[in-house]
Chains A and B, each alone.
Chain A
Amino acid sequence: MISDAHHALRASFAAALLAHDPGASPDWLDGVAARRFAIHRNNVHRALGEALGAAYPAVRRLVGERFLRAAAREYFAHSPQHDASLALCGAGFADFLAAFAPAATLPYLADVARLERGWLETCHAADAPALDAADLARHRHALAELRLAAHPATRLIPSTHPIVSLWRHNTADTPPAALTLHACAEHALITRPCFEVRVAVLDPAASAFAGALLRGETAGAACAAAAHIDVAFDVTASFALLITAGAFTATHPGDCTP
């Protein structure tokens, strides 16, 4: 085991890098060194801000770059980045935004962030074969008792806001000039059939059905949960959507040709 060779140096660097004062530097640095310490401060905060912005591109477009960078400083001050890989940084950013007073004028912002977090987790989740229609057909005689296993990449994000419409509009390369929103609840089903992330809109009944199945409840129980919300719930259409999206894992390896 290595004895800690320069703990005090690291501690004073870390404190100055994270200090609120933009001119902060370790008190044992002076002159040019103290001034140039700001280069490291900029590097650290820019890297964190860029990583968070890359993880939440629609949030970034909705609030603007300056707001996002300021929110990132606050967020990482309270939720330290532990993982040396930034690929999945910002796990708690949606909850942070929900409680972040300057964002209170955008009531849907936290849910858009939840969708984007789901998208990122879906993108980087473990690979697994998806259950297809042929797999399902083998169980057609006992569908009501069927339990399925969620694919590791599947995420279901409920919301009372039209989050999928907002997200699509704010991640499009060239968004249409105006977004016409219908004030309806959109639940996002995020899946990764093969290597492409897909986002589908579910209505509340279909979402209840999907949620129950993803939690491992029987198809019969899932159907009852959906019918409780909407008596006209179309179980066949919902099943087809979930299977096409690759929401469940197969019990045997399937083809995955992108």
Chain B
Amino acid sequence: MTRDRWQRELTHASAIPACAGAGFKSQHAAEILHGRHEVRWFEVHAENYMVGGGPRLHELEQLRARYPLSLHGVALSLGGGVAPDRAHLLALRALVDRFEPGLVSEHVAWCGHGGRHLPDLLPVPLTGSALASLVQAITITQEALGRRILIENPSTYFALPQSVIPEEEFITAAARSSGCGVLLDLNNVFVSAHNLGFDAGAYVDALPGDLIEQIHVAGHEPDSRGEDPVLIDTHGAPVADAVWDLYARLVSRIGIRPVLIERDNNVPPWCELEAQARTANRIAAAAGTRTGTAA
């Protein structure tokens, strides 16, 4: 019942269309706001806009006046095993109220301890008690924001010895129990599968399509130090072909969803990101044609 109420609210004019969007970077503002391009929605990191006022928020208002917006949190620490920070939730709520984003998402990760912020997405032990606390943290967040959120699967570099639940089951259970949706990051699946030695395709196939409301694709890079063949989720390279293959496989099964071209480092000229957005739309259209779903 609660879930129905939240879903109705997502059908406002702010709704994110089921096509490719891009991360908004200030250096592309002129081309995005005033140029001609095919990208129909944008995503920003919520924490970058947790300031009192000034040009950054003004620029986001200009963006929001023209495009639907997705608000992507990177530091709420939903997977920390403790309740989300109240002040952080209030700051997030203020952004939600002001910018009316079509989607609000956060990571299954943690990023602080003892009042100290540790700016990374640190791994959650996949245990029953961590699952229970994650569900509570999502519930607290959804109540504080007055709306539904999406949770994103992490990129993982090594298995925690405490973990006993497969990650896809952990995320599915967290979403089912809390009523949230899933933001499936296909680059994270690919990176984690490579690093931990599981089958990325099987992971993607195992997540229920009705839970997946947004997709991320991004680039990764091998560890610069050499010997260890570990892949790092740097968001610093173009989307890899293997990640596009996972994308085609997913949309063939579940149909099209909003898909974000994520790029946070080595940010290229806008035309390169737009070209990747067109690639995503082309792959989705082709997959939709094959399976008969709308494209």
A21 touches B (CB below 8 Å): no
Q: Which of B52, B88, B136 has the most CB of A within 10 A?
A: B52
Q: Which of A6-14, A96-104, A207-215 contacts B (4 or more CB under 8 A)?
A: A6-14
CB distance from B262 to the nearest CB of A (A): 16
Question: Do B119 and A29 have beta carbons less than 8 Å apart?
Answer: no
A127 at the interface (CB under 8 A from B): yes
Pairwise interchain contact A14-B223, C-beta atoms closer than 8 A: no
Interface size bracket, A side = 35 or more
Within 8 Å of chain A (Cβ to Cβ): is B137?
yes
Chain B residue nearest in CB terms to A32:
B158
Q: Could you tell me if A44 and B118 are in contact, using CB atoms closer than 8 angstroms?
A: yes
Question: Please, how many angstroms separate the alpha-carbon atoms of A152 and B83 in the complex?
Answer: 33
Please encode chain B, from 152 to 178, with 1 for each CB lying within 8 Å of some chain A CB and 0 for all others.
000001111110000000000000000
Give a binary string over A1-41; 1 marks a CB under 8 Å from any B CB, 0 the rest: 11111110111011001100000000011001101110110
| Bound Cα distance A106, B137 (Å) | 48
In the complex, identify which listed stretch (A62-70, A76-84, A108-116, A137-145) lies at the interface while the others stay far away. A76-84
> How far does the Cβ of A5 sit from chain B's closest Cβ, in whole Å?
3
B120 near A84 (CB under 8 angstroms)?
A: no
| Stretch in A118-126, A159-167, A171-179, A181-189 touching the partner | A118-126
Size of the B side of the interface (Cβ < 8 Å), in residues, is 54
Contacting residues of chain B (219-273) with chain A, CB-CB under 8 angstroms = 223, 228, 230, 232
- Min CB gap B253→A, angstroms: 31
The answer on a CB contact under 8 Å between B137 and A195 is: no
Contact of B117 among A7, A35, A81, A152 (CB under 8 A): A81
Question: Is A87's CB under 8 angstroms from B47's CB?
Answer: yes
Q: Name which residue of chain A comes closest to B84, CB basis.
A: A2
Q: Quick check: is A86 within 8 A (CB to CB) of the other chain? A: yes
Q: Are B112 and A84 in contact (CB under 8 A)?
A: yes
**Interface membership of A48, Cβ < 8 A:** yes
A residues 39-59 in Cβ contact with B at 8 Å: 39-40, 43-44, 47-48, 51
CA–CA, A82 and B56, complex, Å: 22
Within 8 A of A (CB), among B74-122: 75-77, 80-83, 85, 88, 91, 110-120, 122
Minimum CB–CB distance from B147 to chain A (whole Å) comes to 20
Name the residue on B nearest A258 (C-beta). B58
Contact A126 B53 (CB under 8 A): yes
Bound CA–CA A44/B58 (angstroms): 29
Contact: A29 with B158, CB < 8 Å?
yes
**Chain A residues whose C-beta falls within 8 Å of the C-beta of B119 in the assembled complex:** 43-44, 47-48, 51, 81, 86
Q: Is the CB of A84 within 8 A of B117?
A: yes
A14 near B51: Cβ-Cβ < 8 Å: no
A116 to chain B, nearest CB (A): 16
Q: Give CA–CA (A152, B50) in the complex, Å.
A: 17
Partner of A124, one of B52, B113, B223: B52
Q: Given the known inter-chain contacts A5-B132, A85-B75, A87-B47, please indicate yes or no for A196 contacting B116, CB distance below 8 A.
A: no
Report Cα–Cα, A124/B80, bound state, in Å.
29
Inter-subunit contact A82/B232 (CB<8 Å): no
A88 in contact (CB, < 8 A)? yes
Contact B122 A3 (CB under 8 A): no
Is A219 interfacial (CB 8 A cutoff)? no
Which of chain A's residues have a CB closer than 8 A to the CB of B136?
2
Contact A4-B82, Cβ < 8 Å, known A81-B117, A84-B75: yes
- Contact residue among B47, B81, B232 (Cβ-Cβ distance under 8 Å from A5): B81
B35 contact set on A, CB distance < 8 A = none
Known: A2-B136, A153-B54. A9 touches B120 (CB 8 A): no
**Is residue A192 contacting chain B, with contact meaning CB distance below 8 A?**
yes
25 contacts between A and B (CB under 8 A): A2-B140, A4-B82, A5-B127, A5-B130, A6-B130, A9-B81, A9-B125, A14-B114, A33-B158, A33-B160, A39-B232, A40-B120, A43-B120, A80-B117, A81-B117, A84-B77, A87-B49, A88-B51, A123-B56, A124-B52, A126-B53, A128-B53, A192-B55, A197-B55, A258-B58
Known pairs A2-B136, A33-B161, A84-B75. 19 more at Cβ < 8 A? A2-B81, A5-B129, A5-B132, A6-B81, A6-B130, A9-B160, A11-B114, A13-B122, A33-B160, A39-B157, A40-B120, A48-B119, A82-B116, A84-B112, A85-B50, A124-B51, A125-B52, A125-B53, A195-B58
Chain B interface residues toward A at CB < 8 A: 47-56, 58, 75-77, 80-83, 85, 88, 91, 110-120, 122, 124-125, 127, 129-130, 132-133, 136-137, 140, 157-162, 195, 223, 228, 230, 232
Q: Which 10 A-B pairs have the closest CB atoms?
A: A5-B81, A127-B53, A33-B158, A124-B51, A84-B75, A47-B119, A14-B113, A126-B52, A5-B133, A43-B120
